[in-house]
Structure 1
């Protein structure tokens, strides 16, 4: 059937798809973001920022973050919040480092790659990296390590994801 995707497992344990299509709109973003944040919330490195420090309610968070990504990828006007403020509050409570942002980028890339291929998927990954680097610089200063080396982003090839719950 057209649009149907067959899930298979890749070597990283993330469900992959055969002939994945590009991110098509808000519905695709909602699925992508739920998958991503489900992983992020349970990640040993960054999960505590969502669950313990911020006490984030995933169901309340998803519509707002979907608005953000819909604006970033499709140029809609649906998001009008300050995306930096919550991250500054987290950083004040428990400092965020390049390793935290690097892990976020790893999970983001793996989730996008597991579900989508195409120009918007590539733009989503590039935009995620730009946002992570910009936030890290604003939080930790312009000299913060943001790529490679000690304390910098970890290469995606080093990533091993758990299989999501069925």
Structure 2
């Protein structure tokens, strides 16, 4: 019988660093979204990680300074190769899986919800649609982005 490890909430910048490193390692390896990081952007994880950790520390704890334009790099990627609803949907799936694999609690839930909001906002802005629009093109369609919070997931016994 395996002993289960205690899973705790995201509580510090160090937790975010571990979470984000694991997430980006999975994202880089993913066949759908990995090429955006590895081939198009040529992302250096060690250089990128402190900035993205600042972003999430600010988003979740209001503790870090983050004064960059998070949209600009995504717009540049979109110009090189269009980012679609399927790309953002996969990002959300990987984000949820990574958060759930390491943490549970109110901050972890907030991180997942914030990730969904960010993905949907980016998708809307890249598609040229107003953020107040109910459904950007591709949402809910074949292969499109469906926020995971909108799905009822059931485990099969």
Shorter-chain TM-score category?
A: 0.7 to 0.9
**2: distance between equivalents of 1:129 and 1:24?**
20
Say whether residues 1:39 and 2:26 are aligned partners. Answer: yes
Higher RCO (CA < 8 A, seq sep 6+): 1
CA deviations on 1:83-113 (whole Å, 9 max, x unpaired) are 0000000000000000000000000000000
Give structure 1 stretches of 5+ with no counterpart.
1-6, 9-16, 158-166
2:17/2:49 contact within 8 Å kept? yes
Secondary structure in 2 matching 1:68: helix
Per-residue CA deviations over 1:118-156 (Å, capped at 9, x if unaligned) read: 00000000000000000000001323233x331322676
Distance in 2, Cα, partners of 1:99 & 1:73? 26
Equivalents in 1 of 2:66, 2:147: separation in Å? 31
Q: 2:108 aligns with which of 101, 106, 121?
A: 121
TM norm structure 2: 0.85
Residue of structure 1 equivalent to 2:51:
64
Provide structure 2 residue ranges, at least 5 long, that are not aligned to the other structure: 130-135, 152-157
Residue 100 of structure 1 is matched in structure 2 by 87
Instruction: Find out whether 1:153 has 2:145 as its counterpart.
Output: yes
**What is the total number of aligned residue pairs between the two structures?**
142
Write out the 4+ residue segments of structure 1 that deviate beyond 3 Å after TM superposition.
154-157
After superposition, the CA RMSD in angstroms is: 1.9
- After TM superposition, list the pairs within 5 Å mapping 1:5-44 onto structure 2: 18-44=5-31
